[in-house]
A and B are shown apart, each in its own frame.
Chain A
Amino acid sequence: MIERLIAASLWLAAAAFMQSARVQAEPYLAVLEGYKCNVCHVNPTGAGLRNEFGAVYSKTLLPEETLRGALDAWTGKLTDRVQVGADLRADWIRSSAPHTMSQQAFSLEQFRVYANLILLPDRLAIYLDEQVAPNGAQNEEAYVRFGNTRDGFYIKGGQFYLPFGWRLQDQTAFVREISGINMATPDKGLELGYEHAALSAQFDLTNGAGNAAGGSGYQATTQLIYTMPIWRYGIAGSFTQSRAGDRSMGAVFAGLRTGPIAWLAEGDLIHDASFPAGRTLAAGLLEGNWRVRRGHNLKLNAEYFDPDRALTNDQQTRYSVLYEYTPLPFLQLRAGFRRYRGIPQNNAENRQQLLMQLHGYF
């Protein structure tokens, strides 16, 4: 055990000399296993608190070494009615860009706690996702959910993440950043969902992030996913009515497993009328995750962003390589490198990043 921890520490130290990045897309696990999001997560659209099976998967199938006996009893359930979980991510990032002084820093990216209070089993629950650090507490999700999230209709009311494309952990992925729908931008409203066999569908009516201060407008978002054991595809659309200018978005996304590799792809097209004469933006993601062996994952990632389809010379790209090592249950180490490319006259669009991350969760 001690040797294992030492090995993990040495690996972490060695990775400090590697180039690294800030990516961690958990949906690849769902693609690799052929699961829908609700197989492992309390939230039927994924992310946040893992359910009983998600906790078991995390401690038995994900890590290189399982600690037999030590964690057998732990499933995240404190009682039949209360389930809890947490995520803590600590980063070291070095950023460099042309003609700019390099930056590097350790940071606490997030410490989040989750709770699911089951009022009526499989019928009624209250869910909470609270970021408690860094800085002060910030509520990410807090909603009441009525209905069955495994088979049938359900409805959520409160604050939650919107369903739109792959729910990547990396909030800076072009498809998540440009769409503005990610795990940094929860919204308030209602979600009607339907889960049955291979089908997942959601329709959300919310305020719209851009209307937070305006007090008017709305955002309507819908998503449909069809999941099979080795492949899946989804479509999503969103419309925001806002005084700032309406915004329409569409996305297609797909996943495929080929042997030990899980592939993810997504393409987003966005029309934003807040610009004079409007502007159409496009973003794309291609990602391959190779499970080298149990507890080891190599992630390769290529992204594309066109900030204005009417211009021909303004596109941006981003490539990432990341190695994820899960030596023990509830502990993950990541290291990688990310390279941005954009127009040469913009330094920030041509930066590169090294990253290491320590991720503890349960």
Chain B
Amino acid sequence: MNVFRAASGGRGTLCAEILASLGSRACVALIAAGIAACAGSGEGLDANGRPLAPEGSGAVPLSADFDSIQANIFTPICSLCHVGGGAPEGLRLDAANSFNLLVAVPSTEVSSLDRVKPGDPNNSYIIQKLEGHAAVGAQMPLGGPYLSASIISFIRQWISDGAQPSAVPAAKNLLITSIVPEDAERVSESPPQIMIAFNHDLDVSQIDRRSVHIERLMPDPSCEAAQRIAARVTLSSINPKVLMIWPSRPLVAGHYGLIIDSASPLRFSDLAGQTLTIRTENGSGKSVISSFDVEDPP
């Protein structure tokens, strides 16, 4: 029988034994490390493992509306796989995309069926996939546990009711909800970062990091120009509603302003395309949205 073996069996027997011995111990150590690995405590997170919103939004009970289905089914169960560039069949079921990719969108597996056909759950492909009688492919969630009939009934009801979009009021304007340090706050030492919190998740692709900066404001602007502080601007990886400004060096004692340049061609916008509207001063295109003082060290 012409069987290929990866390497000659007789060579390096001693080395193999040594390797096996060391490897066995290493494997036991790795297994022990694996067993020792613990699940997260969940502290500070919501049921979907995301940071709790500042306003303390609680768990949403499952009901036959899109927001509830998104919060209880699509986000915690489906979007584990159905997210981003790797989403199977291009179906992204995260909160930002699921409605637009589900309702009245033909399935890629059975193109004659819409993923969700408003008013007709039996001919909605998502129902067939969840109930396990679709013409193509495996029942979802892949590998189970599968959704119970009572849970699927909420999705059926939502579709029967016309598959209405989110009941949350249409996106309001993008607003700044808080700034740390707060306006007019006096801090005893240089803050490591300045945080600007918005009411919506920011669209990272639309952020022009040059349009926000810190300036050291002089007591008498007529005598001395404001001093721009070198800083790095990032979106918080934990909370996409928060913009972080990291001064490259500690701020010396003085009066500082947080400046937004609304003349920038790209401004802050959220995932719905709402842009931040601010009033500028004296037609300069700049607005001091907050100021704070760093005190002299004691």
Contact = CB atoms under 8 A, between A and B. Distances in A.
Given A210-B85, A258-B27, A277-B235, A345 B42 contact: yes
B280 to A, nearest CB: 27
Interface stretch (B46-54, B178-186, B189-197): B46-54
B141 to A, nearest CB: 9
B84 A315 contact: no
Contacts of A232: 6
Nearest to A246: B85
A348 B145 contact: yes
A254 to B, nearest CB: 9
Given A101-B148, A198-B6, A241-B85, A213 B204 contact: no
B9 A244 contact: no
Given A184-B88, A198-B7, A274 B83 contact: yes
B263 interface: no
Interface string B95-117: 00100010001001100000000
Nearest to A57: B3
B193 to A, nearest CB: 15
Interface in A30-69: 34-36, 38-39, 53, 56
A245 B83 CA distance: 9
Contacts of B146: 103, 105
B49 A346 contact: yes
A103 B81 CA distance: 22
A167 to B, nearest CB: 16
Contact of A286 (B31, B87, B238): B31
A36 to B, nearest CB: 6
A197 B7 contact: yes
A212 B85 contact: no
B89 A313 contact: no
A273 B135 CA distance: 33
A212 B44 CA distance: 36
Nearest to B80: A177
A198 to B, nearest CB: 5
Given A244-B90, A256-B26, A316-B39, 5 more contacts: A39-B4, A211-B90, A213-B91, A308-B238, A314-B45
12 contacts: A38-B4, A39-B4, A103-B148, A110-B138, A135-B134, A217-B85, A244-B85, A275-B84, A286-B27, A300-B31, A308-B49, A311-B238
Interface of A: 22, 34-36, 38-39, 53, 56, 93, 95, 97, 101, 103, 105, 107, 110, 131, 134-138, 150-151, 170-172, 177-180, 184-185, 197-198, 208-214, 217, 219, 227-232, 240-242, 244-247, 256-259, 261, 263, 265, 272-279, 284, 286, 288, 300, 302-304, 307-308, 310-317, 319, 341-346, 348-349, 351, 353
